[in-house]
Structure 1
Amino acid sequence: MNIIAILSPERVFYKNEPIRELDEALKTQGFQLVYPTSSGDLVKLIEQNPRICGVIFDWDQYSMDLCIEINELNEYLPLYAFINTHSSLDVSLNEMRMVLYFFEYGLGVADDISIRIRQYTDEYIDAIIPPFTKALFNYVKEGKYTFCTPGHMAGTAYQKSPVGSLFYDFFGANTLKADVSISVTELGSLLDHSGPHLEAEEFIARIFGAEQSYMVTNGTSTANKMVGMYAAPSGSTVLIDRNCHKSLTHLLMMSDIVPIYLCPIRNAYGILGGIPKREFSRESIALKVAQTPHATWPVHAVITNSTYDGLLYNTQYIKETLDVHSIHFDSAWVPYTNFHPIYRGKSGMSGERIPGKVIFETQSTHKLLAAFSQASLIHIKGDYDERTFNEAYMMHTTTSPNYGIVASIETAAAMVRGKPGRRLILRSIERALHFRKEVQRLREESEGWFFDIWQPEIIEEAVCWPIEPGAPWHGFNNADADHMYLDPIKVTILTPGMDEFGTMAEEGIPAALVAKFLDERGVVVEKTGPYNLLFLFSIGIDKTKAMSLLRGLTEFKRSYDLNLRVRNMLPDLFAEDPDFYRNMRIQDLAQGIHRLIRQHRLPHLMLSAFDVLPEMKMTPHAAFQQQVRGNVETVELPDLLGRISANMLLPYPPGVPVVMPGEMITEQSRGVLDFLIMLCTIGIHYPGFETDIHGAQLTEDGRYLVRVLKTDITA
C-alpha cells in the first residue's frame, strides 16, 4: 500500500518544480506515484484502487469540495494540500476533522515533506489495521524462534520435504508464519478474551452495534450450539424455527431440552417464507405448550433471519412480541445488515435493548463478508452472565484456534467500518439490481422463452421489498403486512415450467439442468430448487462475474433452443452414464424430468410435506441417546412410515429438516414421506440427478436407507 495520487497543479514554475522534486523524494521513500488528469479521474481511481494511501493536490485549484468528495469514499485517507502565501484557508471545525495536511510550495524542502508523508502514511495504515491483526502482523515480522506448537514451525518443516515444499509454495510464507501457538502471550487469549483478542472483540462489537461480540473459529454451526448451551438449561422448553439449520437440530440432540416448533410458510417454488406473525403470539405458544408432552413455558427462542432465500424479518416486532427471556437470531446469511439503511430494523442487533430480554445474533462472517471459511461471530445485546456464557463458549472452542481465521474475522469487520464499508455494501446492492434489470430486459427482448426473476414487477431503487399480502409476485398465501422483506442481493432466477402458485405448464425446464450447465462453465449456483436457482451477490462479486452468469444463462437458452445432444451440452452428466445419455437431446431430458415432476405433483407434495409435522414421540436428545446405545436398525426409506426416525432427514433442496430425530411419520403427515420418495424418484430414472438427503444413505443400486429406533423402544 504505497501508491500516492498527485493532481498536478496549474502549469506555473513555482508550483510545478516543487512537485517535481517531491516526486523524486517520494520515490526514494518507496512510493509509487500516479497522475490522474482530473478530479473526476482521481475520484474514480480512489474508488477502484483501495491501495492508494494518499492524495496530493493544489488547494487553490480544488479546495474543500474535492476533500469532501474523497472523504465520502474513505474518511481515513490522508489528503495533502499544497498552498502558497496568499491561499485562503476557509475550513470549518467539522471539516478540520478530516485527515488533511497542508504544505507550502517551496524548493529544497521535498525530502522533509516526503518523510512526513511517509510518517502520515504509516499512521494511516496503523489506523485502519484492527488490533489483533496488527499484533499478529507485528509478531510475524519479529520472526521469533519458538519451541512450541504448531510442529511445522512457521513453515520450516514443510521445506524439508518435497511434497511439503509444494504445500509451502502454494500457501506462502506469511500464512504459515501466522499459524502460531496459543502459547504466544503477546497475542492474548481467545478463550480468556484477553489482550489483542479482547481488543478485537470490543472493536467488532462497536462496528456491529452489539454490546458484546465473540469470535468463533469453527463456524456458525458451533456458534449456534454455544448460544443454545448457555440459554437453554436441561429440562427447559425452547421455541425452534422449523426452518432451522441442522446445527440447531444437533443442539437439540446434545441438550436435554423440549423443542416446540415455529412453523414457517412456503410457496410452490419451495422458497421459505418465514414464520407468520400468529406463531409468535402468546396464545399460539400456550396452545403448543399444552399439546407438547413435558413442555413448560419456553425460556428461549431461535429464529432464522434471513431465510436461505433472502427473506428478512421485521425483528423489532419479534423482539417485542415473543414472551421469552432470550431470542437468538441465526443470521448466518446476513452479516452485513448493520451497514446499509435498507436493512434497518431487520437484524438482531437493530435498535435498542429490550427490557428484560437478551438478544443473541450469530453470523457467518465468511459467507458474505470477506473472512476465511469457518469464521463466525456471536453478538449479544442485554444482560447475561459472562462467566457462564464463556464456559459454553469454551466447551465448543478448540484450545488451538487458527489465528489466521481470527484475524480474518476482525479484518472483515474493519472492511465494513465507516464510509468505505457502507460503499462496499452499496456496490453489492447496485450490482444485484443491475443484474436483475438485465434479466428483465433480456426476457422482454427474447424470442420465445427466457429466464424470469423472483421479485416485484417494478424494481427501481435500492430497498428490501416487502412481502405484501395479496401481492401476486411472491406466491405466499396469507402473508402478513410489515413482516417479511426480500433482500435484493439474494437473486432467485426462475426457469420455465411452474408459476409461483404451483400451476404446472405443459413443458418446462427443471433448474437442475441449468445448474449443471453453468457448473460445467465455471459458474457455481448457491442453491437449486425444482424451477429456481439462487445466486448471492456478495461484496466479492464484480461486473465480470455478473456478466459471466448472464452469458451462461443466454448460452443455455441458445443451446436448449438448438436442442443439442446431452453429450455435447452436458459432457460431465453424459459421463455419469454414457449408455443412457448416448442419443438423448437436451429437450428430451428436460421434458422427461418435467413430466416426472408433474406426475408426482411436486408443488402439492412440497407444500403438504411442511403442512403437517411428523409426530414427536421423543425429544431429539432422547432419540440420539437410544442411537448411541445401539438401539437402532436400518430400513429403506419407503418403510419409514410408522417408525421413529433416529436421525434428522434433510433433503437438498430445500435444505431444512423435514424429519427430526425422535419423530414418526404417520398417515396424517404422510406427505413428508411422499415428498422424500418423489425427490429420490428423479435420480432413479435419470442418472446424475440423485437427491442428497442428510440422514439417508444412498446405495449403489439406488436405494435410500434410513436409521430408525427398534420397535421395542418407546419414549
Structure 2
Amino acid sequence: MRTPLYTALVQHAEKKPYSFHVPGHHNGDVFFDEARSYYASILQLDVTELEGLDDLHHPTGVIQEAEDLLAKLYGSDQSFFLVNGTTVGNLAMVMASCRTGDEILVQRNCHKSVFHAIELAGATPILIEAEIDKHLHVPTHVTDETVKKAIARHPNCRAIVLTYPNYYGHAADLSKLIHMCHEAGMIVLVDEAHGAHFVLGGAFPPSALSYGADVVVQSAHKTLPAMTMGSYLHLQGDRIDAKRLKTLLTMLQSSSPSYPIMASLDVARAYVEEMKEKGTLRGIMEELTEVKDQFNCLTHLEVFEPDSLHSDPLKCVIRSTKGLTGYELKQVLESVDVHPELADEHQVLLVLSLEQGKNVPFKRIEQALQQSDSLLKGKNQFQNEMIPIETDEKNQDIEAVPFEQAAGRLSAESIIPYPPGIPLMIKGERIELEQIEALSRLLGHKVHVQASQVIHQRKLYVYIEEETL
C-alpha cells in the first residue's frame, strides 16, 4: 500500500539529517534522558515543512498525494487531513456554511464543538430533539418527521448538523432525511466522529457520505490506528463553498501541524485500504462477536445489544446484573486496570478495536467482578421537539443562583459531562427542571463535568434578564 507522507518522512530520517531548524528537540538529539526511550523513534518523524515534505496548508506534494488517496478510498470529491481533531472540522464546516444571523438546525445531542462553532459563526441554532433509546436511556437520532416539521417552521435555515452515529454506535438511515434537507436548499453537515471505519462496509453501518451528506468529519483516531487529534474531513458536491472551507481550515488549524499525526493518518488510510483488498473483514467480525460472547459469560455481567437501529459492532455496552450502576461497574473495571470509554447511570461503553485479538484480560475482569462488593466497600458511595436558543447575550450580566431557582432561567454557560462531551445544558438555553435533576445525579455519581466551579456549590450561572412591563 502506498503511504506517500509516511514514506517520505522515513526516507528523510534514514538519511541521518542534521537539524538547524525547529522543533527544538532537533530530530531527538536534545531530549530529557528519562523520557528518551519512549519518544526516540517518533521524534525522528517530528519535523517541519522541509523540502520534499510538503505543507498541510498549501499541499502540492506528498501530503496532497496522501489526501488524494484518502478521497479515493472514501469516495469524496476532496478529503483533508486534520491535526486538531474533529473539533476543528466541526468548526470549519459550520462557519463555512453560516454567517451572522443565519438559522441552522442542530441535533440536540451534538458534540460541544458544534455549539462552539455556531457561536463563533454568529448563527442562530434551532435545536431538534433526538429520539431516546428506551432500553439504553440515551439519545440516538432525529427522525425524518421531526426534521420535516423543523423545516416547515424554519424554511430559511442554511444548514443542518447531524451526529451520526451517536456515541453508542446507533446509526439511523439518513437517505430520506438528507434528500429532504437538500430539497429545502439546506447544506447537510455530519459529525461522523465515531464512523471513520464505516468505509469497510460489511456489518458496519454506511457512511453519511454514501447517503449524500455535503461535509462529513471523522475522528480517525477513535476507531482507526491513527494518533490522537488525527481526523479526516470529506467534502462532496457544490452546496458548500469549498474555497471558504479550505481557508477556514488554514485559519483554525495550527500553523505548525504535527507530522507524526499527519503520517499516522496516511498510515491509517493504508491500513483500511489493505484490509479491504485482503478481505479480512469477516475474520475481524468473528473476533468481535467472540469478545462480546466472552463478556456475556462473565459473572454478573451482560452485553446489551440495541435492536431498533443499525449498530456499530465496535461498540460494546455492558451492564451489571448485580444492580451496580454504570459508574460503579466502571470503578470495578478500573480496579484491575481495565479502562472503558465511558459510563453512565445504567451501563459502561467499551470501544473495541479492529484487531481486538486474544489479549482481553477476562480473568482479571472476572476476579474483579467476583470481588466487587469488597472493592466498592469503604469507597465514596454514589447517591442515588424543537427548542430555539436565545443567543443575544451582549451586555448581559450574569449571576449564580441555587439549583432550586435555576429552572426557567437562561443558562449563561454550557454544562458538559465529559465524556461524551454532549452538553446537558447549552449556553443561551432555558434551563428545565429535568436538566437540573440530571445534573444533580451526575454530581452525586462523581462524574466529571466541564463547567464553572459554582456547580459544586449547587449553583448555576444564569443571565439577568430585564423584566418586561
Give the TM-score of the pair, scaled to structure 1: 0.61
Q: Secondary structure at the match of 1:708?
A: strand
Structure having greater relative contact order (Cα 8 Å, sep ≥ 6) = 2
Gaps of 5+ in 1: 1-127, 159-163, 290-295, 457-465, 468-483, 498-507, 578-588, 598-610, 683-688
State which of 703, 709, 713 in structure 1 corresponds to 2:457.
Answer: 703
State which of 173, 192, 203 in structure 2 corresponds to 1:314.
Answer: 173
Q: In the aligned structure 2, how far is the partner of 1:138 from the partner of 1:655?
A: 40
State which of 367, 373, 377 in structure 2 corresponds to 1:555.
Answer: 367
State which of 391, 400, 405 in structure 2 corresponds to 1:634.
Answer: 400
> Match of 2:356?
541
Give the superposition deviation at 1:203: 0.8
Matching of residues 306-705 of structure 1 within 5 Å: 306-322=165-181, 323-343=184-204, 346-350=206-210, 359-383=214-238, 384-419=240-275, 423=279, 425-440=281-296, 442=297, 450-455=300-305, 467=308, 484-496=309-321, 508-545=323-360, 548=361, 550-560=362-372, 563-564=373-374, 569-570=375-376, 574=378, 593=382, 597=384, 616=389, 618-619=390-391, 622-623=392-393, 626=395, 631-652=397-418, 655-665=421-431, 669-680=432-443, 682=444, 689-697=445-453, 702-705=456-459
The one-letter code sitting in structure 2 at the alignment partner of 1:396 is L
Give the superposition deviation at 1:527: 1.5
The one-letter code sitting in structure 1 at the alignment partner of 2:188 is I
Would the aligned equivalents of 2:200 and 2:276 in 1 still touch at CA under 8 Å?
Answer: no
> Match of 1:131?
4
Q: In the aligned structure 1, how far is the partner of 2:129 from the partner of 2:110?
A: 10
Gaps of 5+ in 2: none
The one-letter code sitting in structure 2 at the alignment partner of 1:385 is D
> Match of 2:127?
261
The alignment-based identity, stated in percent, is 23
Aligned length: 464
Matching of residues 141-156 of structure 1 within 5 Å: 141-156=14-29
What whole-Å deviation, never above 9, does each CA across 1:141-194 have from its counterpart, x for those lacking one? Answer: 223333322122212222xxxxx122323211x321221122x13111100122
Matched, 1:304 2:168: no
Give the superposition deviation at 1:427: 4.1
Matched, 1:166 2:34: yes
The one-letter code sitting in structure 2 at the alignment partner of 1:692 is H
Q: Secondary structure at the match of 2:18?
A: coil
Would the aligned equivalents of 2:226 and 2:268 in 1 still touch at CA under 8 Å?
Answer: yes
Matched, 1:278 2:145: yes
Q: In the aligned structure 1, how far is the partner of 2:353 from the partner of 2:185?
A: 34
- RMSD, aligned CA: 2.6
Change in 2 beyond 3 A, CA 1:429/1:135:
same
Q: In the aligned structure 2, how far is the partner of 1:368 from the partner of 1:626?
A: 43
Would the aligned equivalents of 1:338 and 1:350 in 2 still touch at CA under 8 Å?
Answer: no
> Match of 1:179?
46
Change in 2 beyond 3 A, CA 1:697/1:424:
farther
Q: Secondary structure at the match of 1:494?
A: strand
Q: In the aligned structure 1, how far is the partner of 2:63 from the partner of 2:2?
A: 14
Q: Secondary structure at the match of 2:7?
A: helix
Would the aligned equivalents of 1:269 and 1:529 in 2 still touch at CA under 8 Å?
Answer: no
> Match of 2:108?
242
Q: In the aligned structure 2, how far is the partner of 1:244 from the partner of 1:136?
A: 36
What whole-Å deviation, never above 9, does each CA across 1:94-135 have from its counterpart, x for those lacking one? Answer: xxxxxxxxxxxxxxxxxxxxxxxxxxxxxxxxxx24111111
Change in 2 beyond 3 A, CA 1:270/1:386:
same
Give the TM-score of the pair, scaled to structure 2: 0.90
The one-letter code sitting in structure 2 at the alignment partner of 1:350 is S
Q: Secondary structure at the match of 2:35?
A: helix
Would the aligned equivalents of 2:127 and 2:386 in 1 still touch at CA under 8 Å?
Answer: no
> Match of 1:72?
none
Give the superposition deviation at 1:674: 2.1
